[in-house]
């Protein structure tokens, strides 16, 4: 079990991970507005490819979904829509994403979301030995085994990286 960091209190994400018995490491960094995964990777000294961003998107019926993508890659919404049987997929507006996830944009985690949403993960993420993904607060990532995304979140592998 990961040791609790003194400067990060529990989040819905860490509570979810503990409840499901998922081992994780905690990585705190100084959040920089619009710094994204490049900034967190730089501060933590990890490859940006290993930092996975959590994107809240929606289909043409405004049904929300989560896409987990390498920090250094973009999502092809066309490829994603085709693979999940949607007509189109687009990012949610920040306030809509916040309403669905319960997290502030920049601190969105796929764990412990307010609303249950389908989760899709770029298939190459699953090949990494470990990933850093948001722990439910700006400036806070957790390190986990990417296979748990499929095993516990039910994430479906897709090929949608640009």
Domain extent listing, the chain: 12-158
Do the Cβ atoms of 142 and 44 come closer than 8 Å? no
Instruction: Look at residue 55 in the predicted model and tell me its pLDDT.
Output: 97
**What mean pLDDT, rounded, does the chain reach?**
94
**pLDDT (tens digit per residue) in 55-86:** 999 999 999 999 999 999 999 999 999 999 99
Instruction: Report residue 39 as tokens.
Output: 């900034």
Do the Cβ atoms of 162 and 153 come closer than 8 Å? no
Instruction: Look at residue 28 in the predicted model and tell me its pLDDT.
Output: 96
Residue 2 has pLDDT above 90, yes or no: no
Instruction: Report residue 45 as tokens.
Output: 């000294």
- 12-158 — its CATH code? 3.90.960.10
112-119: average pLDDT = 96
């Amino acid at each position: 079990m990961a040791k609790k960091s003194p400067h990060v209190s529990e989040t819905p994400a860490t509570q979810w991970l503990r409840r499901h018995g998922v081992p994780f490491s905690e990585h705190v960094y100084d959040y920089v507005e619009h710094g994204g995964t490049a900034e967190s990777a730089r501060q933590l000294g990890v490859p940006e490819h290993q930092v996975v961003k959590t994107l809240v998107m929606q289909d043409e019926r405004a049904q929300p979904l989560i896409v987990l993508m390498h920090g250094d890659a973009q999502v092809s919404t066309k490829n994603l829509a085709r693979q999940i049987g949607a007509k189109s997929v687009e990012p949610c507006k920040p306030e809509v994403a916040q309403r669905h996830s319960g997290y502030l944009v920049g601190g969105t985690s796929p764990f412990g979301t307010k609303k249950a949403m389908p989760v899709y993960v770029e298939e190459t993420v699953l090949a990494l030995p470990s990933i850093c993904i948001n722990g439910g607060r700006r400036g806070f990532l957790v390190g986990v085994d990417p296979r748990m995304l499929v095993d516990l979140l039910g994430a479906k592998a897709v090929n949608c990286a640009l």
